[in-house]
Amino acid sequence: MLTEGPAAQFTDLKECLDDFQQRFNTNERVRKLVKNWDRQVMVEATDTGAIYTMYVEDAEMRRIEEGRSEGDDEYLVHLQATNETLMEIFSGNYNPSTALLDGMLSVFSNERDKVKLEACAMVIWGL
């Protein structure tokens, strides 16, 4: 658990992702961005082994489930980082593009999906 910074308000990654889901679904710009972008965004904490999958369907993040994505790999976006880094990213405290450049985050997806995620981060947090 983080001891300071915005992510410190969350006790674990799931709580942080739940908050992100709420921000995601209440942001009209994000909903415009993810129109016709149905994906499973799988988040994997490399140090704790925690894995969650966020299901984006019909311009909304429908649910977050524990465990690996069950969908088609073609629609999978896979994020890997330490638990703390993921919490920093999903609480808006760490620009995911910067995390990528810092070597703190790995993203396995096609290039277009990476840009989509970056655009979402920008409109949610103004990064």
Partner 1 sequence: MPNALNLDGIALTTEQGQWRRAAEQVARDVLAPHAADVDRYGEFPHEGITAVREAKLLGLMVPESLGGPGGSIVTGMLVTEALAKGCASTAMCYAMHQSTVPLICSLVDDDQAERFVDPILSGEWLGAFAMSEPGSGNRIWHMDSHAVEEDGGFLIDSFKSFATSSGHADFYLVPVRANADVGPTDLSLFVIDGKDEHIEPKGVWDGMGLRGNSSRPVHFNGCRVPREHRLGEPTAGFSFMMAYALPIYLVGLSACYLGIAQAAFDAAVAHVKGRIHSDTGRSLATVETVQRYVGEMKVRIDQARAAVLRVAQMSDNATVLFDEFRESELLDEIVRENPDDPYFVELAALKVMAAETAVAVSHMAIQVCGGVAYRRGHVTERCYRDARAGSLMAPSDDTLKVIMGNQLLGTPQPWA
Among 9, 32, 46, 58, binds partner 1 (CB under 8 A): 32
Report the amino acid identity of residue 115: V
Residue 72 is classified by DSSP as -
**Would you count residue 50 as binding partner 1 (CB under 8 A)?**
no
**Would you count residue 74 as binding partner 1 (CB under 8 A)?**
no
The footprint of partner 1 on residues 88-117 (CB under 8 A) is 111, 115-116
- DSSP string for residues in 39-75: EEEEEEETTT--EEEEEEETTEEEEEEES---S-GGG
Among 1, 123, 124, 125, binds partner 1 (CB under 8 A): 123
The residues binding partner 1 (CB under 8 A) are 29, 32-33, 35, 111, 115-116, 118-119, 122-123, 126
